[in-house]
Homo-oligomer: A and B are copies of this chain.
């Protein structure tokens, strides 16, 4: 099937080991491993070709679903990753779910209810723009729930994600790691571009006042909820082209492990279909 040579994986995103204690100040958001922009874009093209093919095999075999969780502060590039990485796959096999401030109906349920009802079915790639992690991020940082409530949620999230994995969902979680100075630069750019100013949110600047609280909340989510069932990856996000490459490469690396299994399943489906067709004697 491949119409290209598979690129080797460089590991641009950092996988958090289960139980590893993360200090985000030790991770450089501007890291780019000496890569040049043009080379990164060329590599991204190659990985996207492969990701598109893997998605088609996932879709056809329908043995697994894929859940991509995107988290990160404002202007860290969640929308950009969706627009520039995910669009290599057929829109038919990808469903993006954006989680905003919970509605009244959502608040009338437990914190995982609105999440669980939209997890991807087999064959599909679900992309979560924000996710259940907001329940241990914004809700913690802004005291929207008591500490006793959010403290229990780490284990509850791990149990939930294990259920997803046991239901044949491949879970990959990305934290887009942007620096405070790069975030400022992006806010100012939006403000000065009349075509982009509508993307500004009122809380953008005020949220920077709790930068360290947000950092610590992310550190706890990364440290406590990176499991074999659902690993977290830290993505340096100050350079958009490195961020996109790191996300795409990680997805390809993750899905490659299933390729042979999916191809076997597709060959089996093909065999069955051809056998059924052989029974049709007359073809108009």
Contacts and interface: CB of A to CB of B under 8 A. Distances in A.
Interface of A: 1, 60, 79, 82-83, 86-92, 94-96, 98, 127, 129, 191, 194-195, 197-202, 205-206, 208-209, 211, 266-267, 269-270, 273-274, 276-277, 280, 283-284
B94 A206 contact: no
A95 B82 CA distance: 13
Copies in the complex: 2
A198 B79 contact: no
Given A206-B280, A283-B205, A198 B90 contact: no
A83 B90 contact: yes
Contacts of A92: 79, 82-83, 96, 98, 129
Contacts of A96: 91-92, 95
A199 to B, nearest CB: 7
A90 B79 contact: yes
A44 B202 CA distance: 38
A90 B266 CA distance: 29
A2 to B, nearest CB: 10
Counting from the closest, the 5 A-B pairs by CB-CB distance are: A197-B270, A83-B90, A198-B269, A200-B273, A198-B270
Contacts of A94: 91
B91 A83 contact: yes
Contacts of A90: 79, 82-83, 87
B91 A86 contact: yes
Contacts of A206: 280
B91 A202 contact: no
Given A194-B267, A270-B198, A277-B202, A284 B208 contact: yes
Nearest to A270: B197
Contact of A205 (B191, B211, B280): B280
Nearest to A200: B273
